[in-house]
Amino acid sequence: MSDAVINSGLAAYANPARFMRLSQTLVPFFALPAVALIAYGLWLSFTAPADYQQGETVRIMFIHVPFAWLAMMTYSIMTIAALGTLVWRHPLADVAGKAALPIGAAFTALCLITGSLWGRPTWGTYWVWDARLTSVLVLFLIYLGLIAIHRAIEDKGLAARAAAIVTLVGSINLPIIKYSVQWWNTLHQPASISSLKRLANPALPPEYLWPLFTIAIGLTLLFFALHLTAMRAEIWSRKADGLSRRMARQAG
Amino acid sequence: MDQATFVTLSYAISSLVISGLALWIFLSARNAKAKVDQLEKQR
Amino acid sequence: MMAALYLRDVRLGFRSGGGAMIAVLFFMSVIIMMPIAVGPDLKLLARLGPAFLWVGALLASLLGLERLFQADREDGSLDHLRLNTGIPELALMVFVKCLAHWTVTGLPLVLAVPLFGLFLNMEPPAILAAMAALAVGTPAIAFIGAVGAAAGVTLARGGLLVAIIILPVIVPVLIFGVSAANAAVDPSQAFLPPFALLSALCLFFAVTGPFAAAVFLKGIDE
């Protein structure tokens, strides 16, 4: 048993040597523009004029919508990583899927929190059991469940494969989130920016589009910086585990 | 609560959570790296 | 060969401790609890009826799922299958087993709906709509539950966890199922769109559920 564990541990850090070099140079290239864009986006969002219908609360949209996009983007990346785990058995895919989890969970939680803080002044309630809200809540539960899988199953390869299967099954939730506002006519408003075609003639005025996109791109870059760093952390901690196990075996 | 409070609250919570997450990821990467270095020195 | 597997599983299901009886009895006790909890307001009951039927059927379908692979594990045929069958064949067998499981536990629930609908003061059209929605929705629950059952058989720790995590995936089935069943009660809602989406979900889970379960059974711990 210990041999298999050590072998998988070795493979996990022998192979990603190139990834470690590459990611080390890449992280600043993501992190610095991310911070600059988010700062600029925040400034834009507070200088934008208040909406004639919603008043000040329209500013919550500038962070709420990017959080929703990123919550789904993170899950999409995890779905691809899950394929990498199951089909190609690539150890980096295991690491990528696991490292994305806390980030995706945080984005989903923030999407839900800012959404209910927006809902209270506009709808008069923090929470409704509307299809969009419920399906995002399900997404959050799936993130938490996947984190629990990684904690409960000790063998890291086994945990990654179990989590990958659950990730793939859970990916049915993504189209449901996306189309829920069209399928059910409930409280949540339809997407303001539904496609590139609409972008040319959007429902939103440019002084609202700019802060929204600046923050969205900034947060996306931040996601990649955080994801790469979390992957590096995971690879190092696996390497440390492998090293200490090997030393224990040599000593005993 | 008035509208501005809701806006402030959501921006405050978001920046707290995001910076907390970034700090946690950064620290866990640094700790894991330190552990690897220490183990390699012991060998 | 698949037909033989189906018949064997159905026979086992009906014989071993009366799986069908237990599911229907459980369903009935949930349905009986509801009016007692809500109070004897007949109008309210009729309006909530479809939702109660769905919650009852959901819980009853989950009840026996952990037994899906148990008989095969006990007589050793599961290990044989894991070693000698490829994932596509294994997925097909899981699919057949799910169908057999549904015949034993899901179909009796659907057939019991008219009786329980009367308990809940539902009109005949509402009962028919609920039956149709449940007839399509309960197989979807069985297919998705197979993933949890497979995880429970193969993973020593974390098997139960997978079963719990799979649960939120059932939420869409519940949403569309209840809205299809509600259409007969509430004239402002259409029956066909949620029913079509429910059928699409059932087909999606009919493919992904057995396949994911087969991956769990086949190669998770190698």
pLDDT at A226: 96
The amino acid that residue C173 corresponds to is V
Query: Mean pLDDT across chain A, nearest whole number?
Result: 84
CB–CB of A152 and C161 under 8 A? yes
Q: Are C200 and C135 in contact (CB under 8 A)?
A: no
pLDDT exceeds cutoff 60 at A243: yes
The one-letter code for the residue type at C90 is: L
Confidence of residue A236 (pLDDT cuts 50, 70, 90): very high
CA distance C161 to chain A (A): 7
Tell me whether residue A251 is exposed, middle or buried, using C-beta atoms within 10 angstroms of its C-beta: 0 to 12, 13 to 18, 19 or more: exposed
Determine which of A10, A56, A247 to mutate to test the interface with B (most B C-beta atoms within 10 Å): A56
**Largest Cα–Cα separation, chain C:** 58
Residue whose C-alpha is closest to residue C103's, from C195, C7, C181, C29: C7
Q: How far is C183 from chain A (nearest CA, A)?
A: 13
Query: Between chains, do B4 and A56 touch, taking CB under 8 Å as contact?
Result: yes
Q: What is the pLDDT of residue A41?
A: 92
Alpha-carbon gap, residue A156 to A90, rounded angstroms:
13
The chains found to touch B (3+ Cβ pairs under 8 angstroms) are A
Euclidean distance between CA atoms C173 and C165, whole angstroms: 15
pLDDT class of A39 with cuts at 50, 70, 90: very high
If you ran DSSP here, which 8-state letter would residue A51 be given?
B
Each as own residue / partner, the long-range contacts of residues B35-38 (CB below 8 Å, 24 or more positions apart, any chain) are B35/A236, B35/A237, B35/A240, B36/A236, B36/A239, B36/A240, B36/A243
Backbone angles phi, psi at B35, to 5 degrees: -65, -40
DSSP H or E segment with residue C86: none
**C-alpha span between A159 and A142 (Å, rounded):** 15
Residue A86 has pLDDT above 80, yes or no: yes
pLDDT above 90 for A216? yes
A75, A225 Cβ separation under 8 angstroms: no
A145 contacts C168? CB cut-off 8 A: yes
Chain-chain contact of C144 with A169 (C-beta, under 8 angstroms): yes
pLDDT of B35 reads 92
Asked if A6 contacts A242 with a C-beta cutoff of 8 angstroms, the reply is yes
- pLDDT at residue number A246: 86
| Residue for token pair 């709808």 | A123
pLDDT at A182: 67
Contacts of A135 in chain C (CB under 8 A): 171-172
CA atoms within a 13 Å half-sphere pointing along the CA-CB vector of C187 = 0
Min Cα distance B24 → chain A (Å) is 9
CA angle A7, A94, A249 (to 5 degrees): 25
Task: Give the per-residue pLDDT at A3.
Answer: 43
Residue A109 has pLDDT above 90, yes or no: yes
Per-residue pLDDT 10s for chain C (222 aa) are 778 888 888 887 777 665 667 788 888 888 888 888 888 788 888 888 888 888 888 888 877 777 788 777 777 778 877 777 788 888 898 899 899 888 888 888 898 888 888 888 888 888 888 899 999 999 999 998 888 888 887 776 666 777 677 778 888 888 888 888 888 777 777 788 888 888 998 998 999 899 888 888 876 555
Tell me if A42 sits within 8 A of A215, measured CB to CB.
yes
pLDDT of amino acid A6: 44
* pLDDT exceeds 90 at position A104: yes
Q: Identify the residue among A137, A142, A169, A176 best suited for mutation to test binding to C, counting C beta carbons within 10 A and taking the highest.
A: A169
Query: What are the respective helix, strand and coil percentages of chain B, to the nearest 5?
Result: 95, 0, 5
The answer, yes or no, to whether residue B4 has pLDDT greater than 90, is no
End-to-end CA distance of chain B: 61
DSSP A142-189: HHHHHHHHHHH--SHHHHHHHHHHHHHHHTTHHHHHHHHHHHS-SSSP
- pLDDT surpasses 70 at A193: no
pTM of the predicted structure, to 2 decimals: 0.83
- The pLDDT-based confidence of A203 (bands split at 50, 70, 90) is low
A90 near A231, Cβ under 8 Å?
A: no
Least CA distance to C193: which residue of chain A? Answer: A183
Are chains B and C in touch, 3+ Cβ pairs below 8 Å?
A: no
147-176 of C, contacting A, C-beta below 8 A: 147, 151, 155, 157-158, 161-162, 164-166, 168-169, 171-172, 175
Only one residue has tokens 């500038």, namely: A62
- One-letter amino acid at C71 equals A
Q: What is the predicted pLDDT for the residue at C26?
A: 85
Can you tell me the ipTM of this complex? 0.92
